Amino acid sequence: MLVGLLRKVYKDTSITSIMKKIVWANKSNGQLCVTIPKGAGIREGEIVTLSKEKVRNIVYSTVVGDLFHYGHLQHLEKANSLGDLHICGVLTDNAALEYRKKPIANFEERRAIISNLRCVDMVMAQTTLDPSENLKKIKEQFPDSELILVHGDNWKRIPGENFIKKVRGKIIKIPYYKKLSEEYINKENLKK
């Protein structure tokens, strides 16, 4: 997997639109491809520049993303700002059940939302609460890159922290957005 920077230079200004995208292999013809989101402002027939970028550090975040809200977005945008490549592990329904009730939106619906965010470069299915298996796969693919595990500061023990310590990565805690948390909403509804 390569990470490319895709640049579109606008004719009438000096503005350059830059986005990080994953280069993937088309299994049917073996060609390397880059998927450009519909709302990216790049149209068919336009010329773009693609340059290879060395990935020095990779940020891994975990999210259930049920009933996606502003707190989720803040978390993922902050994670994205911390490294060259942001990979988000979306917890499967069974993984989410390890610490909470079953999500309202199913895994495919939640993954579709997270996959279409500009602040997430790649999505991985996370089949357990502990992201260590995904982190191992990433480290194998990018052995010289530093891993940064991002998590909300509302957890005392961070799933995956043992693996991150083992590979000399970093753990960064991001402030938890309580206003739209499930606990807060339930508490407010009980008051009514």
Locate the DSSP E strands across the chain: 2-9, 16-25, 32-34, 49-52, 57-63, 85-91, 122-126, 146-152, 170-174
- 119 and 64 in a common domain: yes
| pLDDT of 14 | 41
C-beta of residue 54 within 8 angstroms of C-beta of residue 33: no
Strand-pairing partners, residue 111, are: none
Domain interval for residue 145: 57-182
Query: pLDDT of 88-146, one tens digit each?
Result: 999 999 999 998 989 999 999 999 999 999 899 899 999 999 999 999 999 998 899 99
Give domain status of residue 189, yes or no.
no
Using DSSP, state whether 58 is helix, strand or coil: strand
- 98 and 170 in a common domain: yes
Between residues 185 and 177, the one the model is more confident about: 177
State how far the Cα of 66 lies from the Cα of 107, in Å rounded to an integer: 9
Query: pLDDT of 39-98, one tens digit each?
Result: 667 777 777 666 656 788 999 999 998 888 888 999 999 999 999 899 999 999 999 999
- 152 and 89 in a common domain: yes
Whether the pLDDT of residue 173 is over 60: the answer is yes
* CATH number of the domain within which 104 lies: 3.40.50.620
Confidence of residue 11 (pLDDT cuts 50, 70, 90): very low
- 80 and 165 in a common domain: yes
Give domain status of residue 81, yes or no.
yes
- 160 and 71 in a common domain: yes
- 140 and 75 in a common domain: yes
Using DSSP, state whether 163 is helix, strand or coil: helix
| pLDDT of 153 | 87
Between residues 24 and 122, the one the model is more confident about: 122
Total count of domains within the chain:
2
Quote the pTM value. Answer: 0.73
Give domain status of residue 19, yes or no.
yes
Whether the pLDDT of residue 171 is over 70: the answer is yes
State how far the Cα of 132 lies from the Cα of 112, in Å rounded to an integer: 23
- 66 and 128 in a common domain: yes
- 64 and 42 in a common domain: no
Question: How is residue 35 annotated by DSSP?
Answer: -
Write down which residue in 35, 52, 69 finishes a domain.
52
